[in-house]
Amino acid sequence: MKATDILRSEHTIILNVLGALERIAKNQRDSGDLEVTSAGEALEFLQNFADRCHHAKEEGQFFPALAAHGLPVKVGPLAVMVADHDRGRALLACMAKALAGASTQDPSTAADFGIAAQSYVDLMRDHIDKENDVLFPMGDEMLSDADQTALVEGFERMEHEDMGAGAHERFLDLAEKLCSRYGIDLAPAAVAAACCGHHSPCKP
């Protein structure tokens, strides 16, 4: 398995949770109320699985590997991807702030969560398309088999050392629960393995 295969598989899981988040945001717009428990679970997944793990793999290992092969850092695809990550983190912070207010029965913050959540969904869907369709094919052309293997090993070390034992399985289970709750079609067979070999529950 190549490093880009792992990143693509993680994208599929993230897209499923984005679908659940979008439905949480729609329900908020329609009813005026925020489903606080589900919103918190989606936010926990996105802060940890999507950002703390997936984006950290890209920024800490995958992007530097491409830079080492000559891809510019300050301009072009890498600069755009990092800017998207930063914008996503700002929106996650907005959601966290709004969720804290909603949990104290401040009605105005429920709408704030829904707005930030939909903005995050739109941003990340576009971001994932750019990586899947442009950056990852570039990486597959630029990186040797040895480079890909070294990245996979680095991903696995990061998962176990930075995220902790059992963290990925817990977040994959959380993704499955959210998908089931909101009627999201679970990930296709292509994501049978994700996170350096952890079995994904998001399957047909």
CATH code at position 19? 1.20.120.520
In a domain, 170, yes or no: yes
In the chain, how many domains are there?
1
Range of the domain at 18: 3-199
Question: CA-CA distance, 55 to 131, in Å (whole number)?
Answer: 12
Q: Quickly list DSSP for 68-128.
A: HTT--SSSSHHHHHHHHHHHHHHHHHHHHHHHHHHTTT-HHHHHHHHHHHHHHHHHHHHHH
Q: Would you write out the chain's pLDDT as a tens digit for each of its 204 residues? A: 899 999 999 999 999 999 999 999 999 999 989 999 999 999 999 999 999 999 999 999 999 999 999 999 999 999 999 999 999 999 999 999 999 988 777 778 999 999 999 999 999 999 999 999 999 999 999 999 999 999 999 999 988 888 777 788 899 999 999 999 999 987 654 344 455 544 443 332
Q: What is the pTM of this model?
A: 0.90
